[in-house]
Structure 1
Amino acid sequence: MDDLTAVLAEMGLVPIDWVTASKFAELTGIDEHKL
């Protein structure tokens, strides 16, 4: 997860599912925008 996403998540501007999906995408190499 990049820093911007982390900051937005902390501010409550990013749904936790998006954060989880983003991290999952990084680990698996799947494009998070396609989830």
Structure 2
Amino acid sequence: MCVYVRMSVYIYIVHTVYSLSLLSLIVTIVQ
């Protein structure tokens, strides 16, 4: 169970970082 929670947190962090970097890339291209 602990391993599952740890993996979920890791996936959430990776997803957040990916979304932020993609958003900043789009903003850079638009400007």
**TM norm structure 1:** 0.40
Higher helix share: 2
State which structure, 1 or 2, has the greater radius of gyration over its C-alpha atoms: 2
Length-normalised TM-score, structure 2: 0.45
